[in-house]
Amino acid sequence: SQQGEEDPQALSIQEGENATMNCSYKTSINNLQWYRQNSGRGLVHLILIRSNEREKHSGRLRVTLDTSKKSSSLLITASRAADTASYFCATAGGSQGNLIFGKGTKLSVKP
């Protein structure tokens, strides 16, 4: 079953604009991870934020985590056409180490 729900399901922006994707989840977590997937290929790990962290940066990526609201957001600044992909949040929690994925946000960045 899905744990995370991304919002929006699809997002279309122009190059140079910022893209914000949101993720909500249901149960307690150890960490939350964001992945990118290009056109039906494998997933690429972008960033991991632990449950005791509130914000994390990596290059043009900024992730926030609000455990009280069970939500996270991924901000991609100054988007490029190469950022066009599907983005998934995934939670890891409890005694089980497996990831539970949301359904993803499909981002399209137009040149």
Partner 1 sequence: KAGVTQTPRYLIKTRGQQVTLSCSPISGHRSVSWYQQTPGQGLQFLFEYFSETQRNKGNFPGRFSGRQFSNSRSEMNVSTLELGDSALYLCASSFLDRVNGYTFGSGTRLTVV
Interface ranges with partner 1 (CB under 8 A): 1-2, 30-31, 33, 35, 40-45, 48, 50, 88, 90, 92, 96-104
Smallest gap from residue 59 Cβ to partner 1 (A)? 15
Smallest gap from residue 12 Cβ to partner 1 (A)? 20
Nearer to partner 1 by Cβ, of 15 and 53: the residue is: 53
Nearer to partner 1 by Cβ, of 60 and 106: the residue is: 106
Three-state SS sequence of the chain: CCCCEEECCEEEEECCCCEEEEEECCCCCCEEEEEEECCCCCEEEEEEEECCCCEEEECCEEEEEECCCCEEEEEECCCCHHHCEEEEEEEEECCEEEEEECCCEEEEEEC
Smallest gap from residue 100 Cβ to partner 1 (A)? 7
